[in-house]
Structure 1
Amino acid sequence: MNANTDLIDRYFDAWNETDAARRRELIAATWTVDADYRDPLLSGAGRDGIDAMIRAVHERFPNHTFRRTTEVDGFANRLRFSWELSTPEGTAIVKGSDFGMVDANGRLQAVTGFLDQVPGAA
């Protein structure tokens, strides 16, 4: 695996972590202090904002998990990858693609998410 794949796998580890202290450790290891996340439904600014956003997803979708579904592609400080959110039974209910920017220290500076498949969408 390369550094970008490791970074994005840690990104998903943070999304899936239910222990608050461990999740904050993962966020600190993955995101810059002034990080920014945006998608059509969620946003989080800074590490605290990202933690609050992830916590809200856990409250809305208990025991659901995110996983990367593509290789991590990138050039310079830009990345892209796709993912899915699955029920506890393993059924994917949301699929998306994210685009990220990495800082000089190898942490995520910004992620913009796009929802490729959502429940009820045609």
Structure 2
Amino acid sequence: MNAPTALIERYFDAWNETDAGRRRELISATWANDAAYVDPLLSGNGHDGIDAMIRAVHERFPKHTFRRTTDVDAFANRLRFSWELLSPSGASIVKGSDFGVVDTHGRLQSVTGFLDEAPGAA
């Protein structure tokens, strides 16, 4: 597995982790200390903000999981990939695409997310 794909696998592991301690470890291994995430519905800054954002998603969508749906496309320090949020029954309820910037240590500096398909989106 190449480095960008391994990084994004950890990214999804963090999003799907319900154990707070393990999630914090994954965030630390995946995100720069001063990293930022933003999409149309959520934002988080630094490890604490990203953890709080992920925790809020778990509270709103219990037992749902994120899954990457495309290869990780990367060049220089930029990357992109698409994903979906699955209900406990396996139904895809939201689809999106994320664009990231990787720092010199191989961790995410920033991620900008776009919702491609979501309930009620026109």
User: How would you bin the TM-score normalised by the shorter chain?
Assistant: over 0.9
Gapped regions of structure 2 (runs ≥ 5)? none
Equivalent-residue separation in structure 1 for 2:37 and 2:6 (angstroms): 19
| Runs ≥4 residues deviating over 4 A | none
- One-letter amino acid of the counterpart of residue 36, structure 2: D
Equivalent-residue separation in structure 1 for 2:62 and 2:20 (angstroms): 14
Gapped regions of structure 1 (runs ≥ 5)? none
Counterpart in the other structure of 1:45: 45
Equivalent-residue separation in structure 2 for 1:8 and 1:25 (angstroms): 15
Counterpart in the other structure of 1:64: 64
Spell out, residue by residue over 1:75-121, the C-alpha distance to the aligned partner (whole angstroms, 9 max, x if none): 10000000000000000000000000001110000000000000122
**Counterpart of 2:66 in 1: which secondary structure?**
strand
Equivalent-residue separation in structure 1 for 2:121 and 2:53 (angstroms): 23
Aligned length in residues: 122
- One-letter amino acid of the counterpart of residue 60, structure 1: R
Counterpart in the other structure of 1:24: 24
RMSD: 0.5
* 2:89 equivalent to 1:89: yes
TM-score with structure 1 length normalisation? 0.99
**Counterpart of 2:120 in 1: which secondary structure?**
coil
Equivalent-residue separation in structure 2 for 1:121 and 1:84 (angstroms): 15
The percent identity for this pair of structures is 80
Counterpart in the other structure of 1:77: 77
Equivalent-residue separation in structure 1 for 2:101 and 2:56 (angstroms): 24
Shift of 1:74: 1.1
